Chain A
Amino acid sequence: MGGKVKKLPKVTQFYRNEDQFSPGVAFCSGCTLELNLRFISRVLGKDAVFVGTPSCSAPVLNGANTGAWHKHAHYACTMTGVASSATGLTRAYQKAGKEATVVCYTGDGCAMDVGFQPLSGAAERNEKLIYICYDNEGYMNTGIQRSSATPLGAETSSTQVGSRARGKTTGSKHMAMIMAMHDIPYVATATLSHLDDYAKKLIKARELAKTGFVYLHVFTPCNVGWKTPTDASIEVCRTAVRTNYFPLWEAEHGEFRITYKVRNPKPVSDLTSLLGKFRHLDDGQIAALQNQVDKRFKIVQSLCGTSALPH
């Protein structure tokens, strides 16, 4: 081993900003949501106004009586009302001439299921706010139930594996792409193994939210729900990117671009073999999942092909 490297990754510059969150908060050991929230807070700054909802994040974002776990301005609301409440906030600030970065922070269950209507509505109206969906592929806070983000074949408490059933029978919605079809300034995918890429997207998000709606879809594995050890979090993110299961791309004013090129994508079984929720998959199910991954990536690729931006 050579001498000390003595140069921290560039993205750690954001860690010089004071952590607005209490050091001891109720996220599971190794939870990607904890890293996600602290990271977003550090990059977007202490004046970001968070809008949250019942979820794994609620015990941290919400106050406990008058006590709080963080110093951000925060608005809690129902799962059905996140994007619409945030709309109220951002419009109020605009009327009052107050600069603000309003950030919706929800899981996939809210963004893609019960809160989808107001999200789509707010995007269509091009409201000036950032919507960050952390995708752990299920309703985790209530004990790991399937959502429309849960992938084909996955085991959850509402898609169990037994003699009659072998996990979820349908694939997931391609949410980031759905949002990219809303004619908004910025949509991007991101994950926690590629924090440099994520930071750039957060900075862009903050800028472009001044002009309209921004949607970020972040891949955030859940160790409890996906049945992985607590130290696997970052490795799972990295593998998802390397298998093209979760490609990193962005669409700025409709111009698509892959932001992290994967030269030799690995088979999706590299990812499924890491995850307990896929332990039961048979060859047919893995093939079906690979097919879905390939199809999805082809769509992203072809949209990038029409882009004017270099790719």
Chain B
Amino acid sequence: MVAVNLEHRPRRVLTGNAAAAYAVRLCRPDVVSLYPITPQTEVIEQLEKFYADGSLDCEMVTVEGENSAQNVVCGASMAGSRVFTATSSWGLAFMYDAMLQTAGYRAPVVMVNVNREPPGIQSVCSGQQDMIATRDSGWIQVIAESVQEILDLTIMAYRLAEDYEVQLPVMVNYDGYYLSFLAESIEIPTQTDVDAFLGVLKQQPQRPVLEPGCERGVGAHGLGAGFVELRRKHMAAMERSKQKFDAIDTDFGESCGRHYYGQIETYRTDDADIVLVTSGSAAGTARTVIDAKRQAGIKAGLVKIRMYRPFPKERLALALKGKKAIGVLDRSVAFGWDCGPMHQETSALAAKIGCMPILGFIDGLANMDITKPHIERMVDDIQNAALGNDFREVTWVASGE
């Protein structure tokens, strides 16, 4: 007689926000802090619903602001808890001092950030500027493209953050409105799947935790060489997290039946002449455009950046090396560089990939749709540059240039 696991994975129609909440519940957090902000609020409402109906057994802390939301989870994490919180834009900015602490303390906090334009120009709409504004916070930052990926990535985030060789907070980003409120039919891993997937963490050495009477202190002053040492350890951990992320993705595929290729996903890049680089929900649109362009005889490919911090420079360089021209689609700006941030960072790989034209496209700010015609035009511009013609280095597609 063969024992067969008859637990089938249920399918549900869920919004991106709800998917994040379902993922968190499966990961069995100990302490969750909640504060509402559009377009994330549904995440915490769903979690509170799980708590109220008894299916989520944790300490729920309904804090009075995002700064407290972060400090609560950092403190709880350093005391040994698995934690979660969610925020967006303004809230992300408000918790910035606490985020620096979380990263510096090496607390394995998992946080959802639903991308929305931050304060500066008042708006309640989608944009990646919020996560870009925290790119030097020392956090690992990953980006989801679809509702299914939101759920899967949030589960993987725990495995990554709490890995003994990583011990870093992970921010799971996804586009506000385009993904937060989009409802898709998705498959949900079972509790058994997730317990097993995260269970491997228990077999690792355990990080130090703060307990009454433990004769230890968190947040020692770093003095001189001690400070430098901690910084270098942090940097080294970020480097290690890249390969870990790839390995965890493979493992997730084996446990739960889906994988996403780790730090970046390459689509039809092997024999491509030109490559478009982007992230988030725009990648979904871009994939269909790449297919259409291929039909039309243009050898185009796509790279989707899934891990933004640390920047996946090795694998990206491998994918882009020797191409005739590259384009990078940003959903934000790099102030002071007159281009988008992912364009700026990809350009830094020039020494490794060659001196081909690297075009920048800024689109999708403030909930202005990145449409198929927009991306078709981007591919055309990249192809034009690949053929040796004059090209514009940065195009504000959002302005109709």
Contact = CB atoms under 8 A, between A and B. Distances in A.
A and B touch in the complex (CB under 8 A): yes
Interface string B57-78: 0110111110111111111111
A98 B211 contact: yes
B199 interface: no
Interface in B71-107: 71-81, 83, 97-98, 101
A88 B71 contact: yes
Interface of B: 30-31, 33, 58-59, 61-65, 67-81, 83, 97-98, 101, 210-223, 226
Interface stretch (A57-65, A131-139, A156-164): A57-65
5 contacts: A73-B216, A77-B101, A88-B72, A94-B59, A121-B68
A78 B97 contact: yes
Given A75-B78, A80-B97, A81-B67, 4 more contacts: A63-B219, A86-B75, A95-B59, A95-B81
B218 A92 contact: no
The 7 residue pairs across chains A and B that have the minimum distance between CB atoms: A88-B75, A76-B219, A63-B220, A121-B64, A84-B68, A92-B79, A81-B71
Given A80-B97, A89-B75, A100 B212 contact: yes
A80 B67 contact: yes
B27 to A, nearest CB: 14
A3 to B, nearest CB: 43
Interface of A: 46-49, 51, 58, 61-68, 71-78, 80-81, 83-89, 91-96, 98-101, 117-118, 120-122, 124-125
A83 B219 CA distance: 16
A88 B219 contact: no
B68 A71 contact: no
Given A80-B98, A117-B68, A120-B64, A87 B75 contact: yes
A306 B124 CA distance: 49
Contacts of A58: 221
B30 A63 contact: no
A96 B221 CA distance: 28
A81 B71 CA distance: 6
Contacts of A118: 63-65, 67-68, 71
Nearest to B213: A47
A122 to B, nearest CB: 8
A273 B59 CA distance: 52
Nearest to B218: A75
Contact of A84 (B59, B75, B215): B75
Given A84-B63, A92-B30, A99-B212, A77 B220 contact: no
B218 A76 contact: yes
B24 to A, nearest CB: 15
Contact of A91 (B31, B64, B216): B31
Contacts of B218: 74-76
Contacts of A121: 63-65, 68
A178 B70 CA distance: 25
A88 B76 contact: yes
B76 A89 contact: yes
B214 A92 contact: no
A95 B101 CA distance: 23
Contacts of B62: 125
Given A64-B220, A65-B220, A92-B81, A87 B212 contact: no
Contacts of B58: 95
A85 B74 contact: yes
Contact of B31 (A47, A76, A95): A95
Contact of A77 (B31, B76, B219): B219
Contacts of B67: 80-81, 84, 117-118
Contacts of B214: 73
A238 to B, nearest CB: 34
Contact of A64 (B83, B97, B213, B223): B223
B217 A91 contact: no
A88 B79 CA distance: 8
Contacts of B65: 117-118, 121
Given A87-B68, A117-B64, A65 B212 contact: no
B58 to A, nearest CB: 7
A13 to B, nearest CB: 21
A74 B69 CA distance: 20
Given A87-B68, A118-B68, A124-B64, A73 B97 contact: no
Contacts of A66: 220, 226
Contacts of B59: 91-92, 94-95
Given A84-B67, A87-B61, A92-B79, A98 B220 contact: no
B134 to A, nearest CB: 16
